[in-house]
Amino acid sequence: MLSCDLYLSPTTLAEAFGLMATHRGRFRLVAGATDTLPWARPGRAGDVHVPALIDVTQIAELSEIRLEGRKVQIGATTPIQRFLDHGPLMRALPCLPGCAVWFADDQIREQATVGGNIVNASPAADTAPALMVHGFRVELAACRDGRIARRSVALEEFALGPGQTVLEPDEIMTALTGEALPDYGGSFEKVGYRRSLVISLACLAALVKVSADGRRFDDVRLAVAGVGPVPCRLHAVENSLRGAPIDAAELQRCANIPFDLIQSRTRREYRHAVLKGFIIRALISAARSVGGRAPALAPKLEAAYA
C-alpha cells in the first residue's frame, strides 16, 4: 500500500523545483503514476510511505507536442494514447502507433506518460525501442544557482540498468526530442505471457526506408527490449542491411543475431528464437507499408514467422 503526507501539484517548473528543494530526500515525482501503485503493492516494494508526492502533470510545458520539419518534441507527461489519436504525431513517428496499441488498455494509455515509461528504466519498456529507432534524446532540467539548467542525453545512454538512469536527484525529465520520419515504414512486435495488459518477454521496433523501385533497403533501424538489462539498438544488423536487396536470403541472414545479445537470465533460447522471427516479420511489414515490392514480401515468408 502507498501512503503520503502531502500530494503537491505544481503548475510551473520553477514551483516544482522549489517543492523538490523543500522536501529534499523525502519526495517522489509522479505523472500518470500507473507504475507507482503497482510498485508499492505487497510483494514488491511492500508498504511504502512517501512524505511528499509531487505530481508534475499540471506543468504546461511538460505536455506540449511540437512538430517542426524533421524534428519532433514530445513533452514528458504526454499520455501514450496520443500516439493513437494525434494525427500529425502518428504520421511523424510511424513506429509508435503499433507500439501504443500493445501498451496496456485504453484507460491506462490515457493516464500513463511517455516520460514515465522511460524514466522507470524497465528492461521491457515498450516505448524505449520505438523511440530509439527515431533517434530520440531525453531532455532534462534542474534548478542550479537560481537558474534552470538543461541538458540532453541520447535515449540509448539514459538507462544504466534496471531502474537505474543518468537522471540526477534534482532533475526532471521535461521532454523527448527525435526525428520525424513520415517517409519510413514502421512496425512493432511484442510477445508476453498473455495478449492484453502484458509485460514484454521481448519486443522489437523497426523502421525501414526502401529504394524508389521498392527492391532495396535504403535505411533500416531496429531496437529491442526485454532481452537484456536495458533496451538497445541492433546497429550491426542495421548496418548489414543498408543498401541490401529485400530478399528472403538477406532477411534470413540478418536475423541470425549473436546469441550473446540475449542477456536475460531466463528463457534465453526462447527469446533468441522469438527475436529472429520478430526481425524478419517486422522488416517485411515495415517495408510493405512504404511500397516494398520485392518477392521476399510474399505472405508465405511472413506467415512462417507469425
**For position 81, what pLDDT does the model report?**
96
**pLDDT one digit per residue (tens) for the chain, 306 residues:** 788 999 999 999 999 999 999 999 999 999 988 888 777 765 555 678 899 999 999 999 999 999 999 999 999 999 999 999 999 999 999 999 999 998 888 889 999 999 999 999 999 999 999 999 999 999 999 999 999 999 999 999 999 999 999 999 999 999 999 999 999 999 999 987 665 566 788 999 999 999 999 999 999 999 999 999 999 999 999 999 999 999 888 898 888 887 788 887 778 888 889 999 999 999 999 999 999 876 766 666 666 555
CA atoms within 13 A on the CB side of 87: 0
Q: Fold for 2-55, please state it.
A: 3.30.43
- CA pair distance 36, 116, nearest whole angstrom: 10
**For position 196, what pLDDT does the model report?**
53
**For position 39, what pLDDT does the model report?**
73
Cell 520520419 identifies what position? 181
User: Which of 3.20.20.70, 3.40.1010.10, 3.30.390.50, 3.40.50.720 is the CATH number of 185-304?
Assistant: 3.30.390.50
For the chain, give every domain's residue range: 2-55, 60-179, 185-304
User: Residue 291, by phi and psi: left (phi above 0), alpha (psi -120 to 50) or beta?
Assistant: left
- CA pair distance 210, 218, nearest whole angstrom: 5
H/E element holding 5?
Answer: strand 2-8
Which amino acid type is present at position 271?
R
CA atoms within 13 A on the CB side of 188: 23
What CATH architecture does domain 60-179 belong to?
A: 2-Layer Sandwich (3.30)
**For position 298, what pLDDT does the model report?**
64
In whole angstroms, what separates CA 79 from the centre of its chain? 13
Across 62-200, the runs of DSSP E, i.e. the strands, are 65-68, 71-75, 137-144, 147-154, 159-161, 164-165, 171-179, 185-191
Which amino acid type is present at position 280?
I
